[in-house]
Amino acid sequence: MSERITARIVWVLAGLALIATVFGLWSDAGSGMFTGSPVETAGGIAWSMVPAMFVLTGAVIVSRQPRNIIGLLLMIPGLVFLAAGVIDFAFGSLETGAQPTELTVGLWLRLWFDNWSWVLLIFPILHLILVFPTGSLPSPRWRWVVWLEEAMVLFMMFSAAFSEEIGPLNVDESLAWVLPNPIGFLPEEFFTAVFNSVWSAGLVLVAAAALISLVLRFRGASGAERQQMKWLVFAVALFATVYGGTIVAAGESETGSLLDLLFVISIMGIPVSIAIAVLRFHLYDLDRVIRRTLLYTVLTGLLIGIFILSVFLVQTTIGGLVGEDSALGIAVSTLLVAALFNPLRRRLQDLIDRRLYRSKYDAQRIIDQFVATARSEADMNALSADLLDVVDVTIQPTVKGLWIKGSETPVWLTPIPPSN
């Protein structure tokens, strides 16, 4: 298949995924699912957009790099999730429908797909980690992982097709039902025993192999490939951090809703980070992203704490005069937070740069000092020498020189040989 045809196919699929997402949002809005708080509504909308995000980012990668399997691996989970939603809309959800009296061919195919398609949400991501960022295995010695993945997927397909009974997979226990499978011969005990022992152990082994391959690639990588892997590690670390926060805040409505929204955003960040890494789009901006993330995370926490504390202090000190429910405390606290935003932001940025980005912080200080000196320097030779010293310290080039506008050849003020 030519690259042009491949690109057209993936963009058709991406367009269908986008249409399905928009239609799903419209249906959810019509059914009243977005009537909660603004944070809950934003979280629901974001959840509905996650599959399309995976499909769209995968389509971008496939259209730019058709031979890189990573784009296809990103598309598969999103397409499977959207396909399940389309089937439920067209034929009715298995979670709410009554138990059918007979097993038709169409219902059998639907139940069979429902019982094994969930593995297509797991193995493409694990295989993506295994082949990231080049799209190929680290070496031929890792082929056994691919064979194990294929065997595990085939086992689930086989078990779902030939189990003695067949029914919907993810439904409430009160709505669960099964029907005799006319072609089934595998008892439930066989499937449960194999799944809980051999298959689960195989899944752990595949996940461990994928992570080990990622670590080994990172240790042996350099330059652009190392920077590509930093994007994936950052996205996964951010996801894990937010996921941990959602577990801690479970049961708290307001905090939980906000963390749920951040959790969805962190999931969306994974395909976006992978696309940036594979396509090398703003590849070296990761340090800036991390700095901004740290800055505004800490800044937001401090401002929220200051706001709550100031409201409490105002209500405590003058609450008896203006009333406990007065809006004065909120107004004073809002003004205080607004006044402290920029000073706190500058102080935190300076602290983060000094602690985590010391070399860049020192380089910026040297540049600032040179700018201050250049404003009052009248000697061109001294200014040129200072400029080359700044370049030598901050950039550390192997060759340095200065070209003055109007001259036909560069004016070398220091020897050309590399300086260490």
Question: Average of pLDDT values for 299-314?
Answer: 76
Cα(51)–Cα(59) distance, rounded to whole angstroms?
Answer: 12
Alpha helices in 280-374 (DSSP H): 286-322, 328-356, 358-374
Which of the residue ranges 83-87, 113-117, 256-260, 332-336 would you say has the lowest mean pLDDT? 256-260
- What is the amino acid identity at position 191? F
Listed in sequence order, the residues at least 6 apart from 58 whose beta carbon sits closer than 8 Å to its beta carbon are 10, 14, 70, 71, 72, 73, 74, 75, 76, 78, 271
The pLDDT mean for the chain works out to 79
* Across 68-83, average pLDDT: 90
pLDDT band (50, 70, 90) for residue 418:
very low
pLDDT: which is higher, 382 or 419: 382
- pLDDT for 227: 85
Identify the pLDDT of residue 417: 47
Asked whether the predicted pLDDT for residue 23 surpasses 50, the reply is yes
Of all residues in the chain, the percent with pLDDT exceeding 70 is: 77
Least confident among 3-12, 317-326, 383-392, 407-416: 407-416
Residue 326 clears pLDDT 80, i.e. is over it: no
Max mean pLDDT among 144-153, 211-220, 239-248, 379-388 falls in 144-153
Residue 31 pLDDT: 76
Of 102 and 61, the one with more pLDDT: 61
Residue pair 414/387 in contact (Cβ under 8 Å)? The answer is: no
**Per-residue pLDDT tens for 329-345?**
677 777 877 787 788 87
Q: What does pTM read for this prediction?
A: 0.68
- What was the pLDDT predicted at 64? 87
Over residues 235-294, the pLDDT tens digits come to 888 888 888 777 766 655 555 577 788 888 888 888 998 998 888 877 776 766 766 776
Mean pLDDT score, 119-131: 92
- Highest average pLDDT, of 93-102, 178-187, 396-405, comes from 178-187
Summarize the confidence of residues 370-381 as an average pLDDT.
71
Q: Which span out of 2-6, 71-75, 243-247, 329-333 was modeled with the highest average pLDDT?
A: 71-75
Closest CA to 160 of 113, 93, 98, 107: 113
Q: Which tens digit of pLDDT belongs to each residue from 143-194?
A: 999 999 999 999 999 998 999 888 887 666 666 788 889 998 888 888 888 8
What is the reported pLDDT for 416?
Answer: 43
User: What is the β-pairing status of strands 179-180 and 165-166?
Assistant: antiparallel
Domain spans in the chain, listed from the N-terminal domain onward? 297-356
Mean pLDDT score, 230-236: 85
d(CA 178, CA 218): 48
Q: Whole-angstrom Cα distance, residue 402 to residue 411?
A: 5
Task: Tell whether the model's pLDDT for residue 409 goes beyond 60.
Answer: no
Please check the confidence at residue 8 and state whether its pLDDT lies above 90. no
